[in-house]
Structure 1
Amino acid sequence: MLGLIAQTIFVATRISPPHNSASGCDWRSATGPMGHGTKKGTDKKMQSIDISTLKTRTGTVERVWQIEIQATPEDADKIIDNVMEVDPLIYGRYRRNAFVSAVGSETYLPEDNSTSAVHLGAANKVQTFPSVLIVISVSQDSETLGRVLDAIRDVHHYEEPLIFIKDCWASRADYDPHNSNPNRWWNRDKANAEN
């Protein structure tokens, strides 16, 4: 979807086990803004690789925040639309770029003082509901990130939304919409007709 090269490019080691994340986003970078990670069992900081000057024949890369949100399937568009009020979710020459997964399940065990216990009487009872994962990316600017997090929390159905933030490199292609590459969707019919 987004062509993101995740934090793993930083020779990251997952801190075991992933913290409350279906996608295992408990990754750390020694030099990144997400914290100071160490390999399990050692005190050595992980070495980072700066690829900000990477230029290939087909494009470059740019640092972004990748934000993952777990939500009910019916709330996905509402969340994306509310984020659009504060950030255009630009990727290349496109706006409102987001990935929404197929429907899966979210499960949790409410504590005695949780909202589920207060309103549903569900304290210490396992709850399981349909859920999707929404993935978006924004520029690495703390004010932008703050506005986006507020926009998500404002319309999310949970009092404590499951939101995970990753420090990532995103691919930025140098492309021409009139390119004749036969692999591009707008050229496929013509390429297939010629074969």
Structure 2
Amino acid sequence: MKRLLIALTLLATLLTTACSENEMPNQKLADSVNLESFMGTWYVHGHTPTFMDKEAYDATETYELDGKKIRTTYRYRKGSHEGKWKEYHPVGKVYDHESNAEWRMRFFGILNAAYYILYVDPSYEYTVVGHPGRSMAWIMSRSPQMTDSKYDELIQELVSRDYDLSELRRLPHQAETKD
């Protein structure tokens, strides 16, 4: 019964975040994203939790170009820095090839969700990712550490786009995450 409830909750979450292939961005995205520079591991410092990752610690997103696909590994420890590792593997596809800032992520092989790269700094050290509903967002960097002032600066990218930040959670990271 518990698995059925989890599956139904997951389906409901994904359905509310799914988008059609013809949907245009309803907000300003990054002007241009160099895909090769964007690939690699990002530490997630802020996110809007789902039922799957509401207790995430030490979370990372790793992107790898594989032809036209972007293989993704979302990894985090559940409940604490010592918690069990959880991993998910959505597959991304660039939707807007002019800017490379609009992707579609396929979850569990069945549902596509928009993935908007709202901001990436010129050195590809910091990024802010959003969603059409403006209620889901991710703040990431290449380092497990982020100063409060940098985090607040990146929050302003979301504020300037009228994001609902009531559920946004800052994720804790250890200086080094070890297996």
Higher relative contact order (CA 8 A, sep 6+): 1
Whichever of the two has the greater Rg, that structure is 1
Q: TM-score, normalised by structure 1?
A: 0.27
More helix by share: 1
Name the one with the larger strand percent.
2
